[in-house]
Amino acid sequence: MNLSSNTCTCKTGYFDTSSNTCKACTAPCASCSGSATTCSNCLDSDNMNFSSNTCTCKTGYFDTGSNICKACTAPCADCSGSATTCSSCLDSDNMNSSSGTCTCKTGYFDSSSNTCKACTTPCATCSGSATTCLTCKDSDNMNFSSNTCTCKTGYFDSSSEKCKACTAPCDTCSGSATTCSSCLDLDNMNLWSNMCLCKTGYFDTSSSTCKGCTAPCADCSGSATTCKRCMDSDNMDLSSGTCTCKIGYFDTSSNPCKACTAPCDTCSGSATTCLSFLDSDNMSLSSNTCTCKTGYFDTGSKTCQACTAPCATCSGSDTTCDSCLDSDNMNYQAILAYVKLGTLTHHLKHVKLAQLLVILAQDQPLLVPVVWTQIIWIYQAELVHARLVSLILALLHVKLAQLLVLLAQDQQLLVQAV
- What is the Rg, in whole angstroms, of the alpha carbon atoms belonging to the chain? 64
- List, in order, residues 6 or more apart from 7 with CB less than 8 Å away: none
Choose among 285, 315, 281: nearest CA to 298: 315
Domain ranges of the chain: 2-71, 76-118, 260-324, 332-414
Mean pLDDT of 256-282: 87
pLDDT in tens, 82-117: 999 999 998 889 999 889 999 999 999 988 778 899
The pLDDT value recorded for residue 316 is 86
Share of the chain above pLDDT 90, in %: 43
pTM: 0.45
Question: 278 or 184: which carries more pLDDT confidence?
Answer: 184
Amino acid, res. 58: K
Mean pLDDT of 140-149: 93
Mean pLDDT of 363-377: 53
CA–CA gap between residue 92 and residue 217 (Å, rounded): 73
Would you say residue 131 has pLDDT above 70? yes
Pairing of strands 7-9, 2-4: antiparallel
Report how far Cα 36 is from the mean position of its chain's Cα atoms.
Answer: 97
Give the Cβ contact number of residue 138 at 10 Å. Answer: 20
CA–CA gap between residue 315 and residue 301 (Å, rounded): 14
> What one-character-per-residue DSSP string does 260-324 give?
PPTTEEEESSSTTSEEEES-TTTEEEETTEEEEPTTEEE-SSS-EEEPPTTEEEESSSTTSEEEE
The pLDDT value recorded for residue 397 is 42
Helix (H) or strand (E) holding 390: helix 384-393
Would you say residue 414 has pLDDT above 60? no
pLDDT in tens, 333-356: 444 444 444 444 444 444 555 566
The pLDDT value recorded for residue 406 is 59
Give the Cβ contact number of residue 215 at 10 Å. Answer: 18
